[in-house]
Structure 1
Amino acid sequence: MRCPKCHAEIEEGYLYCKNCGEEIRIVPDYDPQVEDMLSGSLKDVVKEAQQNASEKAAGVQSAAGQSGEKTASNAGASASRKTEGTSRTAGNGRKRHSRKRRLTEGVLCICILAIAGLISVTLFRRNSYDYQYQLAVKAAADNDADRALKYLSRAMELEPDQTYMWLFKAQIEKDSGDREAAEESCRYILSKLDPDNQEVYTMLIEMYIEEGDLDSVKDTLSRCPVQAVKNSFADYIAAVPTASFADGIYYDTMEIELDADGLDIYFTTDGTKPTVNSTKYEGPIRLTEGSNTIRAVAVSPKGVLSDEAIFSYEISYLEAEPPVVSPDSGEYPAEVEIVVQVPDGCTVLYTLDGSLPTLDSAVYEAPVKIRTSTVFTAVSVSMSGRFSESVVRRYTIDGSASGDEE
């Protein structure tokens, strides 16, 4: 037998549940067929009593008739003897008839009382919540799901919307293989009776796991407000990936890092939905100029995918500011020291022969001294590789026709 409250197995002979302390009320075995048989038997008794009474009444009438005929045939007897015999016979007949009538009435009264008692007991049991519920418990213990649900349905009519009855109903349906009905019963409890019921959430999730329905496991856990349930099924929960930078517009090269509490992450950058077959995240994702969209999911230890995370970035490289070169172009009597102001976040490249600087040109790191006429050309290069406009300075040194860098 199982406890009607917590459904734990109860050892034979115990009158309470060791698990929750619930008192167990013992109900005598009851079989509707037995009561039908008893009712039928009592009806037969009444019918038989009525029949016997009729037969005995007919016998009295027959005896009276025979007595009359015998008196008529002996018409020659004396008048006093005739009168005495007739009076004695009639008196005896009335006494016998009275006794038989009282006997018949007594039998009928007993039968009526028995039938009334049976009807009262039947009606009491039919309308007793405790009795119907205990019958359901016994039927469930006997693995008779149909009878258990029948009795439980009647009990629920008598006392509707009892959470533990709906949970018992769901357990019977689950054990009998009717998962769809069990799920409906569980969802009724959560939506109408007890939205924080830990047992119901546990039963639902276990059913989904047994069926391999990981999407329903994920959905149920995401809506579950009971932390104890989430802790029990932690391996089925996947954290949503987060990014190291928020969505927005950026003006330089970026590298985005993803994290999901240490879980494996899969992502795409082409706008498609990520799956476990997408690129696995193993390091920072470098963004290029223009629009960039990262779509990512994490995977729990039990293979449940997290909700999708989408990150959008607009990378717009700024033009590099040109460097500031001094002194200005002109004629100088002797050595000239060229000083360059480098814009923030940039590198300055320069040449001394008038050509346009490239990535292979000299990098400005300190003032440049010249003693001969020189064409100094400089550009700034941003971290994104953007070149600024070039700045040209022409220095003429008296008595010099060519320029060399010191």
Structure 2
Amino acid sequence: MRCTHCGANIPDDQLICPVCGAEVQIVPDYNPLEDVLAREVKGSVAGATRQIQADVVRRQNVSQNQQNRNRQNQRSNPNSTRVLSQAELDKVREERREQLRRQRAQRQRQKTDAKRYQDARQSTENLRRTSTESRRLQQIKKQEAARKKRQKLLTVFFLLILLVGVGIYIGYQNSYTGMIKKGNAALQNSNYTSAENYFNRAIIKDKSKAEAYTGLANIYVAQDDLDSAESVYLNALETQPSNVNLYKAAVKFYEKTEQPNKISDLLQDCEDKNVLSAMNDYVSSAPEFSLKEGTYDEVQQVTLTSATGGTIYYTTDGSDPTESSTEYKEAVLLQSEGDTEIRAIAVNKKGIPSAVSSAKYSIEFPLVDAPAVSPSTGQYSTATQITITVPDGYTAYYTMDGSTPTASSEKYTDPIDMPENSQTTFSAILVNDKNGKATEATTRNYITTY
């Protein structure tokens, strides 16, 4: 068959023109032979049913002659029209029938192919829909399975959280922190026995932490028993001399109870460098004395210094110094004979007083021998003067009636005339101008005869 658009031949098994690509329209082609055959069949039927007459035969002969001419003309001119013979008509009819059969077969094939294509397309669509539905159902199943799995996981997770929470709660209640919290709550309610029990349990769990010791000390503080509170820290430090936290807790206790003077006593006994470094702000070194303790025979000066600096206060009467005592600004002068004890403290920048340091000194000025008196004991017949040798730093005193002289006796200034025609007992002493001590007395007996 031919394409209605471009006229190209189209194979019977194709529905699309291979040249222009136009779709084949399956419409029966018009054939003028069909009209001729229809008329011939109609004329044949009519002729068979009517009576043959002479003129009909004549016309038939004429027609036969005409047909012969037509055949001749047909041979010479194939495009000319002629009347077909019965055999030719049958042949045309048979060819037409064959053409119609082929066309019907082709249409049937086309329908079959179209049906197959439609079925295949529908099958593909159904398969796609089935696959899509299957995937959707599978996805839904997966989502449902995932949802159930999430629910299970969430349930397990929440159960684990609950169990962990319960475990943590129980663990916390029995932990060091839990014991401290319970102890403080009991202490706040003045339930001292329970508080002490909780704090002791906390110490058993961890003796290195200071909170439990502070709790125990607070129990005693609440009952105005500062000595017992202090002993809590001191006893703990005996077994843990390097525990910085315990030292800090003890220092806070002394500050809270207004006992800063005990801080230095506490740190003075510490030998751990790490502790002293951590508590450096609270360390206040006791003053040191430039003069060693002992006895001296002349006036002395004593200088006071502190390794940690601060302000130094001191006393010389043997009492413990405070911040109200004499502030050290210059060397302490020891100019009085006798015993003197200097006691001093140093107060650092945080106001922490040091331990008290002390030193004892004794000043004993040396004494000369009994004064030299001249002339010596004897009898004198001419006027004579009595002389006393007085060294520097001394004053001489004398009597002429035999009594022992004192600082209230006659003061010697110049040589003394020996009494005439008499018997005189002359005694003299020397008194130290610095300490008032008197020497032994020197006695002379004089007899004058002039």
TM-score, scaled relative to structure 1: 0.39
TM-score, scaled relative to structure 2: 0.36
